[in-house]
Copies of this chain bind each other. A is one copy, B any other.
Amino acid sequence: MPSARSDLPAWQKLTEHQRAQSRLHLRELFARDPGRFRTFSLALDGMLLDYSKQRVTVETMRLLMELARECELEAWRAQMLTGERVNASEDRAALHVALRADAPVPVEGQDVTREVTAVLADMRRFARGVRSGRARGASGRVFTDVLNLGIGGSDLGPRLACDALKHCSNAGPRAHFVSNVDGAAIAGALDRLTPATTLVVVSSKTFGTQETLANARTARAWLEKKLKDKAARHLCAVTADPARALAFGVPADRIFRTWDWVGGRYSLCSAVGLPVALAIGMERFEELRAGARAIDEHFARAPLEQNLPVVMGLLEVWNVNFLGCGARAVLPYDERLRWLPAYLQQLEMESCGKSVTRDGSRAGHATAPVTWGSAGTDGQHAYFQLLHQGTSTVPADFIACCRPHHGLRSHHQALLANFFAQTEALARGMTGEEAAAGMREQGLPEAGIRGLLPHRIFDGNRPTTSILLDELTPRALGALIALYEHKVFVQSVIWNVNAFDQWGVELGKSLAGRIVSELEGGAPVSSHDSSTNGLINHYKSRKKK
């Protein structure tokens, strides 16, 4: 295989193909082919994926599949799924699929699912105890609140799931999340909670994450102030390093294991999901895992052309590397999925935000774009101006559910009407003739129309993917998450980067460790560049003595 992706025959054909069809407009593509929606949509298990509003033709998809095969996507997929050490820079497998497997996954002679099953059984017992009121706090009171302390992968997954699935449970404790080391976060959360009825989950793979440990110490002190030596009964831990959790004071039977072979951003289906089991229920958590498993099986077996994560990953490659898009918006038209953009920011940018390929050479192509967005319809009154008329094209994923959990029918109709209208408007745009006709209809004088016209034209041709879920069940959420996990893996294979390491976070961490001691004491600092020195010394002069 040639070392640069751009040397691959399919890459070159795609470049050529893009050039040849660059003037094609989505409006035209739809006009030409009345079957376009059927050709470019896939359905699976309560989920519809419509990518017919992406700027692709049958030929584009054929070439993208060719690219996938030249990049040996199928072989990489098999390696990932069978526990080979696809995370080469850390010499590890990436076994998030084993977390939800229902058949043994033998890795180097060992079936890793055994350990998974054992931890799940512990979680089940514990979650049932807490939710039923059998497992209580030190003073005999039921746990009404769970406070999860974790950051990144130990925060975003359970935060997303607890928020998205709140409607699936009307019993059990409420879940709260604190991630930021900023004292405002933990102080604010503790203000709203009562030690006697709060269960604290300390979630950190290494049990050494600076932010999480700082928050855990503050929470422990808060518990101890009221509960004295019984505070430990309000602590539990999720970690790959039980000894450190034990040393921190977490009772041994409240430590739930995770493993080196699952990266934080892929770990929701492990014990990292404990807050979900506690606040929403273990059965619902199992359903979420089953939904993810269904997508794992689909990803493993479906031919590339009908494979949802493969199609989605390749579309991103098309948009980034051939259409030149540097950002992609994630727009859930569902308030319950408001944490999805943040969740995907980590999943996508931490997995593929890299400039060096697996073999250590410079990637000669763009990798992860910026992932951003928020729950609709809010964005329509904020940044959609740029999506419609900005100078750059920002592809977007629109996500909605057909059936809401509430009875406010007119709200849901309005929400979905906006969902459909936005993807239509982004694709077709509005021509000068249409805009002028509309203004004439409104009775504007011709002079006014002339002046306004250029501002009221929409170029359109802005690509979107629509995902419609029948309903936001735990199963559907699990499927959605696994869909994006594998989509990201597909991209990582095409871009030839390791989706499972994250060396880019190390430098800041080590510099922060050095600076923290420099912030003590009054002496001015001079060991950095003049900006960093200047900022630190300004801070030292201003902070409370």
Contact = CB atoms under 8 A, between A and B. Distances in A.
Contacts of A535: 48, 50, 420, 423, 466, 468
Nearest to A26: B529
28 contacts: A34-B530, A48-B535, A180-B335, A182-B334, A182-B404, A184-B335, A184-B404, A187-B408, A214-B414, A215-B411, A218-B408, A327-B372, A345-B383, A349-B390, A367-B391, A369-B392, A370-B386, A384-B504, A385-B502, A413-B520, A414-B512, A420-B512, A420-B528, A420-B535, A422-B508, A423-B535, A456-B503, A468-B535
Contacts of A350: 382-383, 385-386
A363 interface: yes
Given A153-B381, A370-B394, A455-B498, 8 more contacts: A41-B531, A89-B452, A180-B375, A188-B335, A211-B377, A350-B386, A365-B391, A366-B392
A417 interface: yes
A264 B380 CA distance: 13
Contacts of A188: 166, 335
A415 interface: yes
A186 B456 CA distance: 33
A224 interface: no
Copies in the complex: 2
Given A186-B411, A378-B180, A536 B420 contact: yes
Interface in A199-246: 209-211, 214-215, 218
Interface stretch (A9-17, A111-119, A302-310, A354-362): A354-362
B408 A508 contact: no
Nearest to A41: B534
Nearest to A365: B391
A318 interface: no
Contacts of A402: 538-539, 542-543
Nearest to A88: B451
Contacts of A406: 183-184, 187
A531 B427 contact: yes
Given A151-B378, A402-B542, A515-B420, A335 B390 contact: no
A518 to B, nearest CB: 8
B508 A428 contact: no
Contacts of A542: 402-403, 468, 470
